[in-house]
Amino acid sequence: MLDDLPIGRAAALSGVKVPTIRYYEQIGLLRPAPRNEGNRRRYGADDLSRLGFIRHARQLGFELDQIRELIALSEEPESPCGRADAIARRQLADIDDRVRRLLALRAELARMTEGGCHGTIAECRVIEVLADHGKCAHHGVDEAA
């Protein structure tokens, strides 16, 4: 029965940790759970569905404000999909940008470590490049960190 679950069981079924469930309630992503006579939170199928939605959105890298907006949109089923699509497209563009910066970082690290480690720290290419940013092939690399 998925209509009267304690928070631990809701966490196990949703894959969302107990403190995170409490946090989502606190910031309004999840409606406050009704409480039983012992003042313990009780969760149902709708709560599990919402937790699954949030968890999946977080796995895709959406920020909490974006998720809040997507939840609000999901509660208006007759509304046009354009706003949700725009949020997802912005997220995709952000991911593409991060991938580009990570690839630049990877290329710089590969260049920095070419030829392996020979000699002493005084002759170490890694230390040399880190000490002198001018020796980096990609000057925008530091922005990715």
DSSP label at 120?
-
Domain residue limits at 60: 1-79
Greatest CA separation for the chain? 71
**Total structural domains in the chain?**
2
Looking at every residue in the chain, the average pLDDT score rounds to 89
Burial state string for 23-50 with b = 16 or more CB within 10 A and e = fewer than 16: ebbeeebbeebeeeeeeebbbeeebbeb
Read off the amino acid at residue 143.
E
DSSP label at 6?
-
- Tallying the residues shown for the chain, one arrives at 145
**72 and 1 belong to one structural domain:** yes
**10 and 66 belong to one structural domain:** yes
Two structure tokens written together for 90: 């912005």
**97 and 134 belong to one structural domain:** yes
pTM, whole model, 2 decimals?
0.77
Read off the amino acid at residue 82.
G
DSSP label at 38?
T
pLDDT for 141 equals 47
**96 and 67 belong to one structural domain:** no
pLDDT tens for each residue of 82-116: 999 999 999 999 999 999 999 999 998 888 888 77
Radius of gyration of the chain (CA): 23
Residue found under tokens 């196990």: 12
**119 and 53 belong to one structural domain:** no
CATH code of the domain containing 24: 1.10.1660.10
